[in-house]
Amino acid sequence: METQMFFKISFVDWSIIALYFVAVIGIGVYLKRFAGTGEDFFLAGRRNSAWVAGLAFLSANMGALELMGMTGNTFEYGLYVAHFYWIGAVPAMLFLAIYMMPFYYSSRIHSIPGYLKLRFDEKTRVLNAIAFAVMTLLVSGINLYAMALVLRTFLGWNWDLCMWTSAGTVAIYVTLGGLMSAIFTEIIQFFLIWFGLLLIPILGLVEIGGWDAIAARIPESMGALWSTSGDPAANSMKITWAGIVLGLGFVLSFGYWTTDFLVVQRAFSSKDLRSARMTPIIASFFKMVLPFIVILAGLVAWILAQDPQSGFALLQEDGQIRYDSALPLLIARYYPPGLIGLGVTALLAGFMAGQAGNISAFNTVWTYDIYKSVIKRDATDGHYVWMGRVATIVGIFLSVITAYWAKSFPSIMDYMQAIFSWVNAPLFATMLLGMFVVWITPNGAFWGLVLGMGSSFGMFLAVKYGWMSAEFISGSDVTSPMATNFWRAWWAWVITFVATILISRFTIPRPKEELTGLVKGLTDIPVEHGLPFYKRPGPMAVVALVIAVLLNILFW
């Protein structure tokens, strides 16, 4: 069965959408004059305040994954999706700010692979750079697919036109203005997303009758965070608390928020170390609030879909349900002409923020960690800026190709977590050991990372093609694609961690004098004196952590 519901939008809606596209392209044209050097193009000149960097930090993450992906996942898994925020994001963001950012920022690197070169060696850097570049293009394709789904839902355009329209817009403004252009538009997109989508859960609550009515109509397996996590058969995600804590809360969360250059690059653009450390802390407060938009919207969609009288149903195409269509369909249900344009623009802004973030990270890693490191080491700064612009165009083109692969998955969130388990999970073990253990060796890091990434991808292929059961990875007779992702990430981390330690015990470490500023105990961490508590990373991190704990208790 296939259902395709296209919605007519008014001239006012068209005008709002067109104005947005013109605005972001205009920003790229204007900022081109400020992106003439490598420092400007790839790191926005390192002149941003903590608030600018913080909003861009979160906005780069608020792409298709955050909006349509989380709403669609809530339709599948219910309140369990809140784990991606209150345990699967906030603790890792605070750890990045307090413990890891001093090593990153003080080394004046352009990228995460750049740190691996300084801490270990060139081969480890290139390995991670290639893996990250591939991962970034795969994730970038998700944003193009999701944007195409929105345009297709509301306008009825075919997939090809939708994808190339979004790809062309991102290519123009990132190619012209680099990271500064991406950050500038991400700030605009941040506010568009909040103002454009906040009405959806509010109107959904009004229609259904409030939170108590929602809680009464969803099954127990979808309506709690921890109380049903003792038995995988009792909750919608088919996972235990151990898988949530180890796979998501520790490995996937810390692997993404502390090593994924897409978000960390925004902190690198800060004007000083204090601002860089405050960047993820500021973002964490907004991150904790996002479930009240996307998860509430997903629960509203689930309740409406169970009621035959509501006339609400998710799209079905190519023989499978499109869970990610929940949010666009809610916009079409609740927003009148004029507001539909704002809602669609908010979605497009989110997708383009994620797309721009991925492409700006890709062009930096390609230029500095692959092209400059392996292909052309002695070029001028201007040549590398030119190469960064070329990489942007090529990256966009490759993203269109990966978008068609993303289209084959019923839920983009399942696809995302699979990708993160291949790259981010093993990399987090390498980074953690490298920053906190002096005697970890270059060969230990390289081969540990090879074994970790290889084992993770191997487990994915084995389950996909039936060579291994998903239950074997999760250790339970009851599992789900998301639960399998969590456990695969955990095992990839363990393999990398153990292999790196074992190999390091039999290979030669780097001299300590070469590791100053890169490893704990050999790096001076400045203490901020004379500042109010709300400008100091330590106290603000404690406040954020307390709020996250209270939210977990409230929805226990």
Summarised one tens digit per residue, pLDDT across range 74-123 is 888 888 889 989 999 999 999 999 888 887 776 666 667 888 888 999 89
At 38 the pLDDT is 47
178 in Cβ contact with 35 (< 8 Å): yes
Token representation of residue 28: 């790229």
548 has pLDDT over 80? yes
411 in Cβ contact with 323 (< 8 Å): yes
Q: Which pLDDT band, with edges at 50, 70 and 90, does 206 fall under?
A: very high
At 110 the pLDDT is 62
Domain ranges of the chain: 11-554
How many Cβ atoms are within 10 Å of 219's Cβ, its own excluded?
10
Looking at domain 11-554, its CATH class is mainly alpha
Question: 368-390: per-residue pLDDT in tens?
Answer: 788 887 888 888 877 887 887 78
Instruction: Look at 40-54, 234-248, 418-432, 485-499 and tell me which has the smallest mean pLDDT.
Output: 40-54
Using a pLDDT cut of 90, give the percent of the chain over it. Answer: 20
Beta-bridged to residue 270, according to DSSP, are 48
* Phi, psi of 156, rounded to the nearest 5 degrees: 80, 10
Instruction: Look at 184-193, 426-435, 516-525, 535-544 and tell me which has the smallest mean pLDDT.
Output: 184-193
Token representation of residue 488: 């695969």
Distance CA 56, CA 286 (A): 12
Beta-bridged to residue 321, according to DSSP, are 316
192 has pLDDT over 80? no
At 239 the pLDDT is 85
415 has pLDDT over 50? yes
Question: 242-258: per-residue pLDDT in tens?
Answer: 888 988 888 888 988 88
At 3 the pLDDT is 44
More confident residue, 252 or 186: 252
Q: Please give the DSSP secondary-structure letter assigned to residue 418.
A: H
Distance CA 56, CA 186 (A): 5
Token representation of residue 74: 């809530």
Radius of gyration in angstroms for the set of CA atoms belonging to the chain, rounded to a whole number = 22
- Average pLDDT of the segment spanning 191-198: 78
Helices (H) and strands (E) in the chain, counts: 25, 2
Sorted by sequence, the CB contacts under 8 Å of residue 485 that are 6+ apart come out as: 247, 252, 414, 417, 418, 420, 421
- Coil, strand, or helix at residue 32? helix
